[in-house]
Amino acid sequence: MLSRTIRTQGSFLRRSQLTITRSFSVTFNMQNAQKRSPTGIVLMNMGGPSKVEETYDFLYQLFADNDLIPISAKYQKTIAKYIAKFRTPKIEKQYREIGGGSPIRKWSEYQATEVCKILDKTCPETAPHKPYVAFRYAKPLTAETYKQMLKDGVKKAVAFSQYPHFSYSTTGSSINELWRQIKALDSERSISWSVIDRWPTNEGLIKAFSENITKKLQEFPQPVRDKVVLLFSAHSLPMDVVNTGDACPAEVAATVYNIMQKLKFKNPYRLVWQSQVGPKPWLGAQTAEIAEFLGPKVDGLMFIPIAFTSDHIETLHEIDLGVIGESEYKDKFKRCESLNGNQTFIEGMADLVKSHLQSNQLYSNQLPLDFALGKSNDPVKDLSLVFGNHEST
């Protein structure tokens, strides 16, 4: 009895000691994190006007970007003013019809905050992690976010592209803009940057889309459920961008294939393209045209916004109110829910950032080729100047 009591007490003491050690370790890590400057996690995206009255500025910034819509290196900004002025009334009306503005800022800030909460627990060596959003064409613009990061004392930052599929016209444009702001605002190079420039087959991304598709399929009658055509709809690109060898079409296709593989190819599917603007040739087939062609021929059709990480005008208006709402076959059409606050997706993002931070990789092996092929009137000419530690001594 005595020996059993001694063994029990010994076991209790060991467990208590282990608990104290772990508590001390957690407390020590938290105290260390509080002393360190924050690691900035910067979600970069196109953005959208949060208020209707911000529409003109958004459109001007968008059409003034020669990386996205190459019109004229010399007269791009002048032409952009006229296009923005002409298109503003129509686009303002569309934003009013979806609730008075784009929800992309709300969702981006939510996603960034949740990712940082997870990282503070799973990646304590780079904690604390501070969330930021930097939009290319809407508030908060890259310059505004950069100024805030400097005020916050950020020394290390990850530019996390919210385009899972690299295109020089989107992620490339954001990197070019980041380099401009580094030169304008941070000549001392107080912030050391790295970038997640593509993630088309990220496990969380694939799983989250698969979950949302499976859930939406349950809304179709059981007899036709496996016959429903899945239309994966991505934002199109001008053909003069595609013909430079842009990586985007292949990477979007990689995401689609991985999702269908996870779904065991139960449904017929196609990749289609939306949001073409202007008279120049754009990548097709066009989402609206394919939907109207298939409408009378299929039992059901689902739209999946495959290149978007949250809702905005392309999903809420172009697809919901336009392609579906104006179709005579709308009773057969449904749209898969966007990723928005999907927990599987957010956890996948956090895992991706954690792996990136622990790898010490500044950018992907593909990025130098992307910039060699991409065309811009104001490009980054040497990626090694943008990323890595360049702090003045």
Q: Dihedral sign for Cα 251, 253, 256, 258, please.
A: negative
Residue 379 pLDDT class (50, 70, 90 cuts): very high
Cα–Cα nearest to 164, from 378, 376, 345: 345
Who contacts 24 (Cβ-Cβ below 8 Å, separation ≥6)?
Answer: none
Q: What are phi and psi of 293, to 5 degrees?
A: -70, -40
Catalytic pick from 65, 351, 378, 382? 351
Longest dimension (CA), the chain: 93
- CA gap 31, 26 in Å, rounded: 9
- CA gap 185, 280 in Å, rounded: 36
Give tens-digit pLDDT for 240-260.
899 999 999 999 999 999 999
Give tens-digit pLDDT for 287-341.
999 999 999 999 999 999 999 999 999 999 999 999 999 999 999 999 999 999 9
Same fold, 39-197+344-373 and 203-335: yes
Give tens-digit pLDDT for 107-147.
999 999 999 999 999 999 999 999 999 999 999 999 999 99
Cα–Cα nearest to 267, from 334, 359, 320, 178: 334
The angle that helices 203-217 and 248-262 make with each other, rounded to 10 degrees, is 60
Is 378 tagged catalytic? no
**Which element (helix H / strand E) includes 192?**
strand 192-196
Give tens-digit pLDDT for 27-67.
445 555 557 899 999 999 999 999 999 999 999 999 999 88
Burial class (CB in 10 A: 0-12, 13-18, 19+), 345: buried
- Is residue 367's pLDDT more than 70? yes
39-197+344-373 classified as CATH 3.40.50.2300: no
**Which element (helix H / strand E) includes 291?**
helix 287-294
What would the mean pLDDT of 355-375 be, rounded to a whole number? 96
Each domain of the chain, given as residue ranges in start order, spans 39-197+344-373, 203-335
**CATH second-level architecture of 203-335?**
3-Layer(aba) Sandwich (3.40)
- CA gap 36, 264 in Å, rounded: 46
Residue type, 76: Q
Tell me which DSSP letter residue 43 carries. E
